[in-house]
Amino acid sequence: MRLSRSFLPTLKENPAEAQIVSHRLMLRAGLIRQTASGIYAWLPAGLKVLRNISQIVREEQDRVDAQEVLMPTLQSADLWRRSGRYDAYGPEMLRIQDRHKRELLYGPTNEEMVTDLFGQTVKSYKDLPQVLYHIQWKFRDEMRPRFGVMRGREFLMKDAYSFDVDYASAVATYRRMMLAYLRTFQRLGVRAVPMRADTGPIGGELSHEFLILAPTGESGVFYDAALEDQDWLDEPVDTNSPEALEAFFTRVTTPYAATDEMHDATAWEAVPEAQRREGRGVEVGHIFYFGTKYTESMGVSVSGADGAQFFPEMGSYGIGVSRLAGAIIEACHDDNGIIWPDSVAPFRAVILNLKSGDELCDAVCEQIYSKAPEDFLYDDRAERAGVKFADADLMGHPWQIVVGPRSAKEGRVELKRRATGERQELSVDEALALVLAG
């Protein structure tokens, strides 16, 4: 994409309304614009980020046999009356009346709808387990929306819902999803540490939040460094084996990890001092087992092997997709701007023409651009080199291919890696090969 013809507006100044770094950088790098309190439009670069995150989330959900559907944003109040939550839900629920005075709401979550959908379709234990998920916009009418997309009102979320024949099967599903989450966050280029969360009246140990470490996080976190080191992508966990899943779960949940809400000072003392990690964390995911709460209250049963009807056991599994765009920036930036992980970056590389209009520089840039895949950005604007360098750092492209008049004469370019600042002079082909390989 040629920057001169693109809708990628960067801002030089820090917007006054933005209190945290990700919000400032998302506005300055032209990723989002606010259209109403807590509601944002995603500009081309921001949408690419959102789509890259969604696609990784989707692939890892599919890998554990979750099936993607798409439920609507608006729901009938009657559905929520069946579970008893319509009156119980607070003012965060956006309640709506249509032209016939029927009550609707903008879905803040989908337990009721998915349980109903499941009940219409699945009639026998033979069709279990089922995991359904969707990636859809939701609305929570926050009292004081702030921090940009980190606490917006209209937000994009992946929410999955599982249906199992019994507790043992539900536990296996829960553990499978925990593995999917660890893989997802790792592919997104961040470390998210699972921490025990409150299970309320359900009880048990099957509720975990996933937190990304970031100085502006909303919770204090305490965890054992052992949790940072594991590579889950190639980990050969046999997800069909309950025993293998149990061993995996034990490994993940044995080292100490807790938010300040659940912190246990005595247990923390037992962690060797060199292993203690303490900081702030942003919640980006939550997995939760809640048994038959919705199947029972909504009267959704299926027939068992013995012919008798029973209520399937459920869990829900959320990832804040739009929130992650902000959370990744919280974790990946420096004073000059965003440092996108390769997997999430809106553009893999930018071609910086330091002297647009110079015949040789233009020719070398066009040559690179003609060979480049679609996710290359070409900064062909008639701007000073300093502006282009600053914008490239601000927007956080993983690679910068710098074409200046001196090196161009020798058919060479400078390749800069944004994350490390490392620079090397290379031929055009060498630079391209490096970028495409990485």
Q: Which residues bind a second copy (CB under 8 A)?
A: 5-7, 9, 33, 35-37, 39-44, 46-47, 50, 65, 67-76, 79, 91-92, 94, 96, 98-99, 102, 104, 106, 113, 116-117, 120-121, 130, 132, 137, 139, 141, 143, 153-154
- The C-alpha atoms of residue 90 and residue 4 are separated, in whole angstroms, by 47
Which residue, 62 or 425, is less far from a second copy as judged by CB? Answer: 62
Which residue, 169 or 207, is less far from a second copy as judged by CB? Answer: 169
Which residue, 31 or 413, is less far from a second copy as judged by CB? Answer: 31
Residue 114 CB, nearest approach to a second copy (Å): 9
- The C-alpha atoms of residue 1 and residue 146 are separated, in whole angstroms, by 32
Residue 115 CB, nearest approach to a second copy (Å): 12
Residue 286 CB, nearest approach to a second copy (Å): 23
Which residue, 214 or 344, is less far from a second copy as judged by CB? Answer: 344
Residue 232 CB, nearest approach to a second copy (Å): 23
Q: Are 334 and 394 in contact (CB under 8 A)?
A: no
Q: How far is the CA of 25 from the CAs of 3, 185, 270, 310, 332, in angstroms?
A: 18, 21, 39, 51, 11
Which residue, 44 or 220, is less far from a second copy as judged by CB? Answer: 44
| CB burial readout 239-249, b (16+ within 10 A) else e | beeeeebeebb
* CB-count burial class (<10 Å; 0-12, 13-18, 19+) for 272: exposed
- The C-alpha atoms of residue 378 and residue 352 are separated, in whole angstroms, by 7
Residue 385 CB, nearest approach to a second copy (Å): 20
Which residue, 141 or 430, is less far from a second copy as judged by CB? Answer: 141
Helix (H) or strand (E) holding 245: helix 242-253
Helix (H) or strand (E) holding 68: strand 67-68
In the chain, what is the straight-line distance between the N-terminal and C-terminal CA atoms, in Å?
20
Residue 284 CB, nearest approach to a second copy (Å): 20
Residue 87 CB, nearest approach to a second copy (Å): 16
The DSSP result for 394-417, as a single string, is HHT-SEEEEE-HHHHHTTEEEEEE
Q: According to DSSP H, which parts of 105-241 are helical?
A: 111-121, 167-187, 226-229
Which residue, 116 or 379, is less far from a second copy as judged by CB? Answer: 116
Which residue, 39 or 202, is less far from a second copy as judged by CB? Answer: 39
The DSSP result for 294-330, as a single string, is HHHHTT--EE-TTS-EEPPEEEEEEEEHHHHHHHHHH
Which residue, 47 or 419, is less far from a second copy as judged by CB? Answer: 47
Residue 187 CB, nearest approach to a second copy (Å): 18
Which residue, 141 or 358, is less far from a second copy as judged by CB? Answer: 141
- The C-alpha atoms of residue 57 and residue 134 are separated, in whole angstroms, by 10
* Cis ω before 15 (30° cut-off from 0): no
CB atoms inside a 10 Å sphere around CB 155: 22
Residue 289 CB, nearest approach to a second copy (Å): 21
Q: Sign of the C-alpha dihedral, residues 270, 275, 276, 280?
A: negative
Residue 75 CB, nearest approach to a second copy (Å): 7
